[in-house]
């Protein structure tokens, strides 16, 4: 059979959204300068779907700085992989500053978050080891698991008893020269809950393992100093490998892993996606250093982020919406309903109220449920939140009526 013919008949996990919803539900175009107000299909909208948590992506100082460093260096420099010709003092300084920021010995700069954690997992474990991960892990962890040659066990989301069961199993099954790596998230980006890091770390003495935490949504937003979910939960020392991305609070591209110096030395020689890929361009490196400095010097951004988050959540709860008990700024609104309801909510909010929200239905979430995920940022204003709440108030009768119908269908 011809491969291209075969692809035509292969079902897409996005279902009807693959083609029919293209440009609206999938691959929508938010245009104009980055910020809480942008244009969608030519209309002005308030945006709740961009992970620029601290509003740094629309900060005028950083925009001017980026323009200047791009002029100074161009996006070409340095050329080559870091192993060969792509290293620089600026790259190394960024790594030192990142390690200091997240309270670890050393750090290794990575080109991308998604690619980076996949490659780190692949490098860390071999066929004699066991890899244990949370069932709601982000796709990058799932794909990293697929790359790894280790035995793999999965535990129920944030279920310490399920986790303990898999730890016991791992220590029974692993080979004499095998080790155990556990991977979870600091803050889960879809549901907004935090990983059960304290409970997991408490089991280390009984069942030794190393812990890798993907804190994409926690770095810059969680903890008094923004150093992440481990700091927020007062268990940061128990995290053996701390993974952060620039794609959220830094509003940039790239990532890093912070850990012991000896492990960083190993990763520099074994993470294939870095060894065989062009180095991070100098303007990105310089901008990351500048953004890190600004994040550390402006704690009021985190305070504003949480002020906006709480105002939005309180308003939604007051009008009867089911806001999941998220512990990071991600604000998930869950309701009973079909894919049709998910589409209706997005369309009404966008077209009738000028509010750009994103939603997911089956198969991303269980059948019969709809999840609308809102991302508050420090750049949102009180007026943005008030207008958004008015929009949700206007559509709630439709949403609640559909939810009740769905509930009756499921119990019939």
Examine the domain organization and report whether 84 and 123 are in the same domain: yes
Q: In this predicted model, which residue has the larger pLDDT, 366 or 150?
A: 150
Q: Please write the tens of the pLDDT for every residue from 66-87.
A: 999 999 999 999 999 999 999 9
Domain count, the chain: 2
Examine the domain organization and report whether 313 and 407 are in the same domain: yes
pLDDT score recorded for residue 18: 63
The mean pLDDT value for 245-271 works out to 97
**What whole-number distance in Å separates Cα of residue 46 and Cα of residue 380?**
9
pLDDT score recorded for residue 405: 76
* End position of a domain, from candidates 297, 318, 350: 297
Binning pLDDT at 50, 70 and 90, where does residue 15 land? Answer: low
Q: Please give the angle made by the CA atoms of 275, 109 and 196, to the nearest 5 degrees.
A: 115
Does the structure show a pLDDT above 90 at 362? no
Q: DSSP of 205-262, one letter per residue?
A: TTS--EEEEE-TTTTTTSSTTS--HHHHTT-GGG-SEEEEESSSTT-SS-EEEEE-HH
pLDDT score recorded for residue 10: 78
Examine the domain organization and report whether 156 and 48 are in the same domain: no
Examine the domain organization and report whether 188 and 326 are in the same domain: no
- What percent of the chain shows pLDDT beyond 70? 97
- Could you tell me the CATH number of the domain that includes residue 37? 3.90.1150.10
Examine the domain organization and report whether 74 and 177 are in the same domain: yes
Does the structure show a pLDDT above 80 at 13? no
Does the structure show a pLDDT above 90 at 388? yes
The mean pLDDT value for 308-327 works out to 95
Examine the domain organization and report whether 229 and 311 are in the same domain: no
pLDDT score recorded for residue 223: 96
Examine the domain organization and report whether 378 and 276 are in the same domain: no
Does the structure show a pLDDT above 80 at 14? no
* End position of a domain, from candidates 297, 317, 343: 297
Q: Are 287 and 62 in contact (CB under 8 A)?
A: yes
Examine the domain organization and report whether 303 and 319 are in the same domain: yes
* End position of a domain, from candidates 245, 267, 297: 297
Query: What is the pTM (predicted TM-score) of this model?
Result: 0.94
Across all residues in the chain, what is the average pLDDT?
94
Binning pLDDT at 50, 70 and 90, where does residue 412 land? Answer: low
Examine the domain organization and report whether 74 and 103 are in the same domain: yes
Does the structure show a pLDDT above 80 at 11? no
**What whole-number distance in Å separates Cα of residue 147 and Cα of residue 304?**
40
Give how far the C-alpha of residue 300 lies from the chain's centroid of Cα atoms, to the nearest Å. 22
pLDDT score recorded for residue 401: 85
Show Cβ contacts of residue 32 under 8 Å, excluding neighbours closer than 6 positions: 38, 39
- Could you tell me the CATH number of the domain that includes residue 204? 3.40.640.10
Give how far the C-alpha of residue 249 lies from the chain's centroid of Cα atoms, to the nearest Å. 10
**What whole-number distance in Å separates Cα of residue 280 and Cα of residue 210?**
28
Which structural domain, as residue segments, surrounds residue 72?
Answer: 60-297
pLDDT score recorded for residue 71: 96
Of 19-33, 44-58, 226-240, the one with minimum mean pLDDT is: 19-33
Q: Please write the tens of the pLDDT for every residue from 160-200.
A: 999 999 999 999 988 889 999 999 999 999 999 999 999 99
Examine the domain organization and report whether 113 and 240 are in the same domain: yes
Does the structure show a pLDDT above 70 at 16? no
């Amino acid at each position: 059979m011809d491969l291209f013919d075969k692809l035509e008949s292969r079902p897409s996990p996005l279902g009807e959204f693959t083609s029919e919803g293209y440009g609206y539900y999938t691959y929508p175009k938010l245009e104009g300068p980055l910020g809480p107000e942008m244009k969608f299909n030519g209309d002005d909208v308030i945006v709740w779907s961009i992970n620029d948590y601290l509003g740094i992506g629309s900060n005028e100082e950083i925009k001017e700085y980026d323009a200047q460093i791009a002029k100074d260096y161009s996006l070409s420099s340095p050329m080559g992989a870091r192993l060969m010709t792509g290293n620089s003092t600026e790259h190394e300084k960024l790594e030192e500053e990142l390690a200091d920021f997240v309270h670890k010995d050393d750090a290794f700069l990575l080109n991308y978050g998604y690619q980076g954690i996949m490659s780190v997992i692949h490098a860390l474990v071999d066929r004699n080891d066991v890899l244990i991960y949370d069932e709601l892990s982000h796709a990058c962890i799932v794909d990293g698991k697929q790359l790894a040659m280790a035995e793999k066990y999965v535990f129920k989301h944030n279920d310490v008893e399920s986790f303990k069961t898999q730890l016991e199993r791992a220590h029974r099954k692993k080979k004499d020269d095998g080790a155990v790596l556990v991977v979870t998230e600091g803050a889960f980006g879809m549901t907004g809950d935090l990983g059960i890091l304290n409970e997991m770390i408490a089991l280390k003495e009984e069942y030794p393992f190393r812990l890798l935490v993907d804190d994409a949504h926690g770095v810059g937003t969680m903890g008094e100093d923004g150093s992440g979910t481990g700091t927020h939960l007062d268990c940061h020392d128990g995290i053996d490998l701390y993974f952060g991305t620039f794609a959220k609070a830094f509003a940039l591209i790239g990532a890093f892993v912070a850990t012991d110096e000896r492990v960083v030395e190993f990763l520099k020689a074994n993470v294939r996606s870095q060894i065989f890929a062009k180095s991070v361009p100098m303007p990105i490196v310089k901008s990351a250093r500048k953004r890190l400095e600004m994040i550390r010097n402006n704690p009021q951004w985190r305070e504003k982020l949480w002020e906006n988050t709480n105002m939005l959540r309180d308003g939604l709860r007051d009008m009867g919406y089911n806001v999941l008990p998220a512990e990071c700024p991600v604000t998930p609104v869950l309701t009973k309903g079909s894919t049709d309801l998910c589409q209706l909510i997005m369309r009404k909010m966008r077209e009738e109220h000028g509010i750009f929200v994103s939603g997911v239905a089956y198969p991303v979430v269980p059948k019969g449920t709809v999840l609308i995920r809102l991302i508050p940022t420090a750049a949102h204003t009180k007026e943005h939140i008030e207008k958004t709440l008015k929009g949700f108030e206007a559509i709630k009768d439709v949403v609640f009526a559909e939810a009740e119908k769905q509930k009756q269908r499921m119990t019939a």
